[in-house]
Structure 1
């Protein structure tokens, strides 16, 4: 029996008791359980369970009163979770985590020693049983949450550095803390996840709140709940063949800051300069962390520091050595033109305190006012929940129950959907604001219909997707010249699509800036004036800004 199944078994063995914290429900329905008088009674019951469990209650849904695994249909389970969320809110509590299992007729039993639900089957289960953890207190207030995008050459220690930051644990010199950032398949299968960021830690009363066991969803949720300041990391890929993935991580998310790593035993590489160019071309305030200082001499560290400073000055940026000028100066001066440089070691923990101090005090920068808008970056199908769209909120706010538009679909239309629930770092929230990385469970669409590059908008929006737009572009690198019909991949928000370029002056040479018409090759997308983008094709790379859009095909 897997540890996940053991959670269900323990809850059933404990059973419903007077004065206990466990409650069995076969299902909850809006018509019956939210009716006048019933809601108050059930909320009082939930509150009693939470108090009995010293602030935590366990609701087992899809079971009979005696703990038999009845299982309910996925749609019924989703409705039950919606009702349970409202009951928890009424009782001054919130759903912290939900685990689900499929059950079929062969596994249904009232015998607690018999087989529990089947976690993984080749066929669709006949029903679902789930365990919801209810925690005392309102859902997360996330007014102070910054998102940091990491970049750097492969083996330059960015994942190890982030692993050390989020755990407070020194690395063993073999990348042990890097493993904390690996995405486990069960994280997608077992629960609604907004795990675009592969690390999170926080601060409470100026003290770091770190993860004890980052492989556990509830440990990440604990960090979110306990912190009054959160730092999320979007960890990108350092291998050159996967530069497209790195661009998606840096361009497709509403990041507040960039964190570029440069290994002291290697120094700035071609990939380092490319990642730096992307970070700075998107006008993202950036910190450079020189890593692996423990592997080389002080003289070599000083040499790499000088190389980093030259690389920054080559692109008209001003380096600011944090060791020399202090954390206060770095926080005050960091901008599109000033880049703080910190020398670190995940093994000796040198420089970690300085990064902590900066992340604890750096102001929120991303997030726009106006109506809600979120570009879809990933999609999941979560058992018992349904289709989940994951991404970073570009503007506005979203609440559970909101009616939205999703699209454009391949034919350019938008579909009406409803927000079932919202999660951030496995922590269920009723509302999320601009700049937050979230997973939104949607009613009215199946997961196969969700595609990266789609956008979620308010129901009353009047979106007009376009096939073509005008842009100001700059060619960073190209072996010859860019002429009419040039076809790179364009990355704007979470959109990654082949497009044709038609320079106004007929051609663009390396280092040139100029105007061009850009036309998506296969379908239309929702883009707007002012959005910045990156384009690449082979060794050719460039950046641009949308100056106007053209509707229609």
Structure 2
């Protein structure tokens, strides 16, 4: 049998015992099991199971009292997990992990499926979902995680093969690279990325700090390891690792524009120096007014003279765009933290092989304050990714822009292609594969939703509080600046606009009829195919071929269709 099925069979074989840590439940419902008196007794039972298992209990759901495979509908299983989460919280515990199986003719499906809100896992057993689900929930002593407001999010950028993913891999694991980009493998999530050594989509990584220093991941591929770091850390640093290859520039823009980032980390390889892509990525970081640090990577691969030359090239590049470089080696980490701003850019030399400079980066990330704040109190999150998870349903993933969200909240999601918003309910929330009851602004989370199918969700949609009154628009006015264009932008110019997590073709109508490279001006921007939720003050990037520019929304029409 597979390792996953072994989890279920082991729990069934152990069975329920008076002093054991295993509990069988066919299903749990809000109406029956959360009623007065019943909640307290079930929470006490759960507490007993957790204590009997030295801090861990196993709940098998979808089975009879004697351990017979029954299977329950996905909706009933999801409700059971919600009720179990409430019981666990009452008992001072939380759900650590859930695995589910579809019930087939022989009683159990052929594959196991992780049901975490961000796992996105799918199984061959899904063909039997209509026959029912059986699942194993692992519960652990201790309240559900609630990290503090110092959680910062860092977006990486830089040319292909300049060592972004390798540097981040060494930071989050605390281990040196083998000189072949080995630590990069912790972040490459698609098989072709691992094979080619290139990243083709956004990757996410996390590490943290406690009173004793950095809290690293032993194996970032294990969701339990990420959860451990999140749980043990007093302060978290999340990385949105973007891609450096020109064909995937739109993905890099999505990572830098569509996430709620606090800081940028631009890498420049010492053996190559600043390139055209380096300049483009720096331009996007600065256009988004993101405080940025420059790491010169691969310091071990060149001699001191070459390293000094590249440092001067980086400083010249920064001065050319009106920024003041600050050498961390000369002025120290404390000064770099104090001076880092829209106008001052710390520069330091690093090597993932020798670990040079990584202690300074650790010290900076441990001290840098949270900056991406939004005064709005109501909940808002733009959808970046969507999943469908067996036993959970549709999942929307993204960075919380403002407010907070809790399991059980009533929200709205949209706009749909016709401009409408759909009422949904929050089933559960996960952050870096760790189930949480509540998520605040700045957190990268996956939110499982009731009331919408995954195929109805699209990147660029907004998830809002239930009492919001959103007005989607097809067009808006903006102040724009043309960074690069072979000729001039005229009426009818059609670039792709990257605004929050949306990437949509749009039609430009410049005031005065045209904009030249380097020009600043106003323009009407109209989405070609569907409306989006757009607000005054939002910044965006537009691109078409080699043409690129940035803009700020100045007026929203509220025209719906």
TM-score (ref. length: structure 1): 0.95
- The SS at the match of 1:466 is coil
Matched, 1:365 2:371: yes
- The SS at the match of 2:86 is helix
Aligned to 2:144: 139
**Whole-Å Cα distance in 2 between the matches of residues 524 and 505 of structure 1?**
26
- The SS at the match of 2:408 is coil
Aligned to 1:129: 134
Matched, 1:296 2:302: yes
- Residues 111 and 125 in structure 2, CA contact (< 8 A), matched pair in contact too: no
Aligned to 1:93: 93
- Residues 107 and 117 in structure 1, CA contact (< 8 A), matched pair in contact too: no
- The SS at the match of 1:311 is helix
Aligned length: 539
Q: How far 1:197 sits from its partner (Å)?
A: 5.1
Aligned to 1:190: none
**Whole-Å Cα distance in 2 between the matches of residues 531 and 217 of structure 1?**
34
Q: How far 1:26 sits from its partner (Å)?
A: 1.6
Instruction: List per-residue Cα deviations over 1:85-111 (Å, max 9, x = no partner).
Output: 1001111111122222222122349xx
**What is the aligned counterpart of 2:389 among 382, 388, 392?**
382
Matched, 1:441 2:475: no
Q: How far 1:212 sits from its partner (Å)?
A: 1.1
Gaps of 5+ in 2: 114-122, 192-200
Q: How far 1:15 sits from its partner (Å)?
A: 2.5
Instruction: List per-residue Cα deviations over 1:250-309 (Å, max 9, x = no partner).
Output: 100000111111111111111111111101100011111111111111111111111111
Q: How far 1:16 sits from its partner (Å)?
A: 2.1
**Whole-Å Cα distance in 2 between the matches of residues 117 and 324 of structure 1?**
54
Aligned counterparts, 1:387-536, within 5 A = 387-536=394-543
- The SS at the match of 1:505 is coil
**Whole-Å Cα distance in 1 between the matches of residues 301 and 22 of structure 2?**
53
**Whole-Å Cα distance in 2 between the matches of residues 206 and 545 of structure 1?**
43
Aligned counterparts, 1:256-295, within 5 A = 256-295=262-301
- The SS at the match of 2:124 is coil
**Whole-Å Cα distance in 2 between the matches of residues 331 and 373 of structure 1?**
30
**Whole-Å Cα distance in 1 between the matches of residues 111 and 534 of structure 2?**
49
Q: How far 1:80 sits from its partner (Å)?
A: 0.4
Q: How far 1:129 sits from its partner (Å)?
A: 1.8
Aligned to 2:65: 65
- The SS at the match of 2:557 is strand
- RMSD over aligned Cα, in angstroms? 1.6
Q: How far 1:122 sits from its partner (Å)?
A: 7.1
**Whole-Å Cα distance in 2 between the matches of residues 514 and 116 of structure 1?**
57
Aligned to 1:547: 554
**What is the aligned counterpart of 2:246 among 228, 240, 243?**
240
Matched, 1:120 2:124: yes
Gaps of 5+ in 1: 110-114, 186-194
**Whole-Å Cα distance in 1 between the matches of residues 108 and 145 of structure 2?**
36
- Residues 116 and 381 (structure 1), Cα distance of their counterparts in 2 relative to 1, 3 Å cut: closer
Instruction: List per-residue Cα deviations over 1:144-193 (Å, max 9, x = no partner).
Output: 211111111111111011111111111111111111112269xxxxxxxx
- Residues 103 and 128 in structure 2, CA contact (< 8 A), matched pair in contact too: no
Q: How far 1:196 sits from its partner (Å)?
A: 6.7
- Residues 4 and 112 in structure 2, CA contact (< 8 A), matched pair in contact too: no
**Whole-Å Cα distance in 2 between the matches of residues 72 and 429 of structure 1?**
25
- The SS at the match of 1:32 is helix
Aligned counterparts, 1:120-269, within 5 A = 120-121=124-125, 123-125=127-129, 126-143=131-148, 144-183=150-189, 198-269=204-275
**Whole-Å Cα distance in 2 between the matches of residues 104 and 367 of structure 1?**
49
Instruction: List per-residue Cα deviations over 1:445-472 (Å, max 9, x = no partner).
Output: 0000001111011111111111111100
After superposing the two structures, state which structure 1 stretch, 7-16 or 531-540, moved more: 7-16
**Whole-Å Cα distance in 1 between the matches of residues 252 and 460 of structure 2?**
16
Q: How far 1:49 sits from its partner (Å)?
A: 1.4
**Whole-Å Cα distance in 1 between the matches of residues 11 and 203 of structure 2?**
31
- Residues 201 and 231 in structure 1, CA contact (< 8 A), matched pair in contact too: yes
**What is the aligned counterpart of 2:314 among 282, 305, 308?**
308
Aligned to 1:35: 35
- Residues 206 and 360 in structure 1, CA contact (< 8 A), matched pair in contact too: no
**Whole-Å Cα distance in 1 between the matches of residues 226 and 5 of structure 2?**
20
- Residues 488 and 516 in structure 2, CA contact (< 8 A), matched pair in contact too: yes
- Residues 483 and 518 in structure 2, CA contact (< 8 A), matched pair in contact too: yes
Instruction: List per-residue Cα deviations over 1:227-249 (Å, max 9, x = no partner).
Output: 11011111111100000000001
Aligned to 1:189: none
**What is the aligned counterpart of 1:356 among 362, 366, 371?**
362
- Residues 336 and 403 (structure 1), Cα distance of their counterparts in 2 relative to 1, 3 Å cut: same
- Residues 111 and 124 in structure 2, CA contact (< 8 A), matched pair in contact too: no
TM-score (ref. length: structure 2): 0.93
Instruction: List per-residue Cα deviations over 1:390-426 (Å, max 9, x = no partner).
Output: 0101111111111111110000011111111111011
